Structure formats: C-alpha cells, structure tokens
C-alpha cells in the first residue's frame, strides 16, 4: 500500500531480525488501524429534505429507507463491507455501552424508524449497514442522521456536538426555499467544529426555480461570512443513471463525488497515515537504539566502558518509567482528578445560570399558559450548557494527554480520544413535570367554589342581621354590594394564590430536572474520564515497557558485540552499516508520510500518489455508472 505499507513491512522484517516480537505486535496493530481507517461524512439537515435519498443516490443502492411515511429516527452509518450486512446497536442498561446485534437487511425500515423502547432488547442507539461498494472501499463512511427538528432545537444542539468527531459535513436542504436564519446559524457553528463541509441542495428536478435558490443561498452564505461550496443535485436522476448513464451529468452528482474525494477522503486518510507513521517511527526508534549501541562500541573501542555505563543508566531510567510512582503516572492521576473537579464545576455554573434565567421567566408569567414554551426553552438551554461542557471536557482531556506525553518525554504524544456516551439519549429520556402537575390539589374549580361560597356566605349573614333593623330592600342592596366586593376580592386573591402556587411548583420541577441533568452528566463525565485515564495509562505503560526492553536489549547487544573476536567484529560492523542504512531510509520515508501527507492507495497493492486517490474515487463512481 505505498510508502507507508512498505515501511511497515520493512519494519516488521527488522523486528524479526532483532527478535523483538513485542515491536512486531506494535506494527501489526498499526497495520490493522490503517486497514480499518474510516473517514466519516455526516449528512445533516431538517426533516424531509432528502438526506436518506441522497445517501442512496450517492451509492446508487437502496440502503436507507425513503418511504414517505418513514422518518429516520436513529443514526444510520453506511460503510464498506465485503458482504452486505446490518448491525443494530442497543443500550440494554443506562450507562453501559451499546451492544451490537446482527439483523436482516429487510428490517432496516423498521429499525431506523423505531422510536419506542423495547423493554427486553433495550433502546436502539444506531444502525450500521455494510455495503460492498467501490466508493466506500476508500474508507469513506456516510452517516445518515435523523432530522434535527428545528436547527435551534435540543436535537439541533446535540447534532452540533456530534460534529466535532466528523471528518466532513453534508448539510442538506432542498430547492423549495432559500436557507433560513436558523439554518445559517447552524452552519456557522457547524463549520467551526468541522471545516470540511458543503451545502447540498436536493430536489432540483422538482423545482424549476432551483437556480434562483442557489443564487439566494450563495448570497446568504457570503453575508454570513460562511465560505462553503453549494452543490445542487437531483437524487432522482442519479438513481435513474444506474440504467441511463447519460443522466449522471444532469443529476449534478459529479461535483459532490469530487468534493468527497478531494476535500474529505484525501485529507482524512492523510491524517490517519500521519498518525500511523508516527507509530511506526516509534518502533524504528527502538530498533535504531539497539543498532546504534553496537556501532558505537565497534567504532570507539576506547570508550566502551563509558558507553556501557551510559546504556546501563538509560536502562535504569527506562525501568523508572514503568514504576507506579513515575512522573507521568502522577501527572495523569492528578490531572484526571483536577479535570473531573473543573468539568463538574463548569457544568454546575452553567446550569445555575440556566436556573436563574428560567426562574425569571416563570415569575413573569403563569405556568398554566407558558409552561410549554418554558419547557422547550429550558431543554434547549440545558442542551447548550451540556454541549459547551462536553467541549471543555474534550479540550482539557487533550491538553492532559499532551502534558502526560511531555512528562513521559515523548516527541509525539498519544492522540487522546475521549469516549463519550450519547448523552443526547440520556437528556431526551429525562422527564420534566407536565403542566397538569403544577396546579393546586383539588383543581381550579374547587378553589373557585370555595371563594364563591365565602363570597355568598358573608352577605347572607349581613342580610339576616340587617333585616331585623332596616328595610329589607336596603339591606338586600347592601348585602349584594358587599357580596360582590368580597367575592371579587376573594376570587382575585385566589387566582393570584393559585398562580403563585403554580410558579413555585414550576420552579421545583425545573430544579428537579436540572439536578437530574447534572447527575446524569456528571456520572458520564466521570465514566468518560476513567476511560480516558485507562487509555492513556495503558498506552504509555506499553510504551514504557517497550522503551525499557529496548534499552536492556541495547545494553546486552553492545556488551555482546564488544566481546566478539576482531574478525567477527569487522563482519558485524558491515551488517550494522547495512541495517543503519535501512533504518535511515525507513525513517526518512515515514517523515515524508507524516509531513508531506502522502497517503496509501485504496485497495491496491502498488502505491499511488495523493492526487491519484481523488481520481480513483471518482473513477470508481464512473465505473458504477457504467455497471
């Protein structure tokens, strides 16, 4: 697979010659990561904009269900597989990772539109479909997301949070209307999280004025300061092009395929190649340490005692890296503890601000009339606070990884990937009290009847006593006036009392809801950071073990070589010279991959350049059109 694959193969040969199966296993792991690399393009947009149809049209395969009565309810990931297959991921218990279950492909419509929880199987989290398609063989994966249901809604905010892990965004709208203000606001935030993005305007075959919509959207994006390509397409014509290839150009999909190839696949796989190159270079460094030690004792016989002393010291220092009290271990442990405290404090601060704002809103109105709007606003603000808190968690965790790497004294630290549960599901499951639970016991009618009875009872007493001394007509008038005044005052006070009661109940409901959100998110924060801590600990611990074994092997090899007879030393020096050349060539090639961004070929044994990658993806697409 080009330069990087050749480097891995050469490195493995060297590890076998040096009898280092531990380093060979490291290379095998790097090879697996390279083979399983993925570049994910997330398809987002409002409901019924043609997202699922767009995915089907790209692949010219009926993967995602697109029936008029079906609304995608769970994320559907479409990726490459040697054979067609479907896996449904369900969360059996809260707080646990979803478990995958194979399912027949003909059940995908039922699965992706599922919205209820199965009490026995658990809540459906996502669906993965594997398709043996040429375009996906490049590592490209397409994630068809549920409609965001209002881009400024809770779902829209949570979708934005997920885009940080995406390699590219395809924002789908249709030619029925121009971009709205919420869509533009969503795009501004989305691009800040994932710069590789494009606006795809679907259904150009249905709306004759689609060119005018493209012009308006271009103007809107320019005004908003958003520099994104706009790609108008007809999924219907693209699907028909499978039988009539001449329709492919008219469908407008060629620019979209080129965008995916050049702006998504190439950069994504370049980053993956650079990461793998660093891993292989680490192995090459360990091999070079042993080779260099032998060459030094052969080239400078007079300094052998000093060299062996330095190698002994290096071995002892490397042994210290594996100890529980190593500096990097302390940095990691203290950093995780500080990070948990800071992230929880940040969340608490954000939620307290939300609480103050929502209490002000409740005080300004009657929850009986405004609770629906208040609930929508509250859920969105809680989602915004949660997303911001997650962003802080990820950023600080990456900083911690760099500090641990620095304490470990590595030139390139381990890339930190914080494993977060889909807290969108957790938040959606949290219930907020309904408006019916905010009223006083007995209901509004009982309170009004009590006030009315009091308003009638007082005038009756006045009438009974006053009729003994005054004319009946005069007493009746006074009683009626008094009853009306007292009754009106009582009714007004009762309505105010009920409103105050509902406001207090609403504040209590909000407080319980926010407390539940904090409980769920703090639990997830701790779980995520524990996973991150284990990830960093295990990786650096493995590196420490490899470094220690390399230092010990270098000392042993240097001591052994120093004791060889002169003739054997000469032969060994020649062998080491050749090995040194191989290692220098190997590391030089790795630097080129890491810095110049050369990427491995897609599905080919021979190497191809970066430019050829894009052409291969596009050529594969044209082959599909001709099939």
Express each pLDDT in 11-35 by its tens digit: 999 999 999 999 999 999 999 988 8
Q: pLDDT tens digits for 509-543?
A: 999 999 998 998 888 888 888 888 898 889 889 98
Residue among 533, 536, 532, 542 at smallest CA distance from 321: 542
Distance of alpha carbon 136 from alpha carbon 265, whole angstroms: 10
In a domain, 119, yes or no: no
| Parallel, antiparallel or unpaired: strands 140-144 and 76-80 | antiparallel
- The per-residue pLDDT of the chain, averaged, comes to 80
Residue 432 pLDDT greater than 80, yes or no:
no
Each residue's pLDDT tens digit, 276-302? 998 899 999 999 988 888 888 888 888
Give the residue with greater pLDDT, 2 vs 491. Answer: 2
For residue 219, what is the domain's CATH number?
3.40.50.300
| Structure confidence by residue, pLDDT tens digits, 30-54 | 999 888 888 999 998 888 888 889 9
Looking at residue 215, its pLDDT comes to: 96
Better pLDDT: 59 or 95: 59
What is the number of other CB atoms lying within 10 angstroms of the CB of residue 270? 20
Q: How far is the C-alpha of 249 from the C-alpha of 236, rounded, in Å?
A: 13
Domain membership flag for residue 83: no
Give the Cα separation of 591 and 573 in Å (integer). Answer: 27
Residues 209, 71 within the same domain: yes
351 and 208 belong to one structural domain:
no
Distance CA 147, CA 173 (A): 11
Q: Are residues 348 and 226 in the same domain?
A: no
Does 581 fall in a domain?
no
**Are 420 and 535 contained in the same domain?**
yes
Within a domain: 614: no
Looking at the domain assignment, is residue 534 inside a domain? yes
The answer to whether residues 195 and 343 belong to one domain is no
pLDDT at 617: 43
Contact by Cβ (8 Å): 385, 347:
yes
Residues 67 and 153 in one domain: yes
pLDDT digits (tens, 9 = 90+) for 301-354: 887 888 888 888 888 888 888 888 888 889 999 999 999 999 999 999 999 999
Pairwise pLDDT comparison (428 vs 29), residue with the higher score:
29
Q: Is the per-residue pLDDT at 457 higher than 90?
A: no
Domain of 511, in residue numbers: 299-443+496-558
Tokens 């090639």, residue? 589
- Structurally, the chain folds into a number of domains equal to 2
Residue 171, pLDDT above cutoff 90 = yes
Q: What is the mean pLDDT of residues 262-274?
A: 88
Are 163 and 193 in contact by the 8 Å Cβ rule? The answer is yes
Supply φ then ψ for residue 169, to 5 degrees: -125, 130
Position 62 confidence tier, pLDDT thresholds 50, 70, 90: confident
Q: Do residue 333 and residue 373 come from a single domain?
A: yes
Q: Model confidence over 482-493: pLDDT tens digits?
A: 556 656 666 677
Rounded Cα distance between 424 and 376, Å, is 15
Can you give the pLDDT at residue 300?
A: 82
Residue 409 and residue 515 in one domain? yes
Contact in structure between 272 and 141 (CB atoms under 8 Å) = no
Contacts of 4 (CB under 8 A, 6+ apart): 34, 273, 276, 277, 280, 589, 590, 593, 598, 599, 600
Residue 161 included in any domain: yes
Residue 92 lies in a domain: no
């Amino acid at each position: 697979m080009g330069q990087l694959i050749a480097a891995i193969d050469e490195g493995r040969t060297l590890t076998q010659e040096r009898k280092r199966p531990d380093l060979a296993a490291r290379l095998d792991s790097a090879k697996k990561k390279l083979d399983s690399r993925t570049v994910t393009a997330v398809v987002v947009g409002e409901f019924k904009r043609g997202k699922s149809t767009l995915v089907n049209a790209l692949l010219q395969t009926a993967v995602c269900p697109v029936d008029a009565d079906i609304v995608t309810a769970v994320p559907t990931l479409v990726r490459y597989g040697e054979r067609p297959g479907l896996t449904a991921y369900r969360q059996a218990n809260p707080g646990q990772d979803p478990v995958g279950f194979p399912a027949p492909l003909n059940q995908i419509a039922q699965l992706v539109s599922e919205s209820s929880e199965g009490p026995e199987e658990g809540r459906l989290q996502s669906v993965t479909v594997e398709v043996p398609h040429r375009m996906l063989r490049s590592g490209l994966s397409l994630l068809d997301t549920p409609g965001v249901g209002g881009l400024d809604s809770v779902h829209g905010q949570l979708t934005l949070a997920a885009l940080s892990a995406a390699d590219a965004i395809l924002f789908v709208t249709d030619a029925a209307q121009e971009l709205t203000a919420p869509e533009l606001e969503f795009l501004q935030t989305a691009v800040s999280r994932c710069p590789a993005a494009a606006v795809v305007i679907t259904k150009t075959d249905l709306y004759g004025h689609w060119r005018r919509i493209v012009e308006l959207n271009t103007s809107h994006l320019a005004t908003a300061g958003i520099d994104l390509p706009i790609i108008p397409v007809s999924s219907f014509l693209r699907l028909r092009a499978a039988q009539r290839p001449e329709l492919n150009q008219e469908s407008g999909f060629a620019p979209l395929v080129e965008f995916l190839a050049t702006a998504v696949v190439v950069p994504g796989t370049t980053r993956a190649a650079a990461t793998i190159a660093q891993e292989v270079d680490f192995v090459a460094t360990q091999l070079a340490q042993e080779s260099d030690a032998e060459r030094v004792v052969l080239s400078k016989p007079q300094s052998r005692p000093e060299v062996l002393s330095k190698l002994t010291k290096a071995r002892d220092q490397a042994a210290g890296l594996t100890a529980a009290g190593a500096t990097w271990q302390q940095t990691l442990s203290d950093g995780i503890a500080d990070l948990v405290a800071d992230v929880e404090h940040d969340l608490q601060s954000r939620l307290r601000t939300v609480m103050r704002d929502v209490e002000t809103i409740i005080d300004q109105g009657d929850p009986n009339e405004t609770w629906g709007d208040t609930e929508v606003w509250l859920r969105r603000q809680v989602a915004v606070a949660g997303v911001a808190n997650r962003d802080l968690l990820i950023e600080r965790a990456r900083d911690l990884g760099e500090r641990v790497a620095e304490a470990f004294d590595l030139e390139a630290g381990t890339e930190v990937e914080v494993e977060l549960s889909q807290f969108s599901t957790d938040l959606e499951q949290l219930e907020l009290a309904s408006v019916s639970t905010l009223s006083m016991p007995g209901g509004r009618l009982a309170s009004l009847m009590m006030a009315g009875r009091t308003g009638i009872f007082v005038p009756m007493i006045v009438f009974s006593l006053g009729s003994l001394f005054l004319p009946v007509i005069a007493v009746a008038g006074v009683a009626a006036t008094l009853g009306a005044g007292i009754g009106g005052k009582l009714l007004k006070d009762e309505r105010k009392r009920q409103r105050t009661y509902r406001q207090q109940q609403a504040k209590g409901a909000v407080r319980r809801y926010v407390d539940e959100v904090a409980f769920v998110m703090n639990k997830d924060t701790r779980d995520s950071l524990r996973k991150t801590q284990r990830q960093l600990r295990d990786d650096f611990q493995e590196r420490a073990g490899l470094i220690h074994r390399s230092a010990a092997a270098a000392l042993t090899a240097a001591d052994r070589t120093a004791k060889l007879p002169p003739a054997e030393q000469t032969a060994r020096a020649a062998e080491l010279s050749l090995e040194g050349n191989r290692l220098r060539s190997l590391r030089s090639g790795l630097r080129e991959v890491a810095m110049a961004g050369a990427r491995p070929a897609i599905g080919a044994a021979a190497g191809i350049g970066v430019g050829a990658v894009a052409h291969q993806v596009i050529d594969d697409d044209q082959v599909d059109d001709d099939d």
